[in-house]
Amino acid sequence: MDGTMARKRHKPEEIVAKLRQVDVLTGQGKSIAEAVKTIAVT
């Protein structure tokens, strides 16, 4: 490895699931930043 972080490719259905999770969390009153941290996406 050259020291750079390897990128994981997400399948479309995984992306949709994560976006739905963010939608639910923001609906519960969390900020976008908190929701994104919760689903471990940068």
Q: What is the pLDDT of residues 2-29, one digit of tens each?
A: 556 566 787 899 889 999 999 999 999 9
Q: What pLDDT does residue 10 have?
A: 75
| b/e map 1-24, b = 16+ CB within 10 Å | eeeeeeeeeeeeeeeeebeeebee
Q: What pLDDT does residue 17 have?
A: 92
> Domain residue spans in the chain?
9-42
Q: Across residues 24-39, what is the average pLDDT?
A: 91
Distance CA 24, CA 16 (A): 12
Q: What is the DSSP string of 1-42?
A: --SSPPPPPPPHHHHHHHHHHHHHHHHTT--HHHHHHHTT--
Q: What pLDDT does residue 1 have?
A: 46
Asked if pLDDT for residue 36 goes beyond 80, the answer is yes
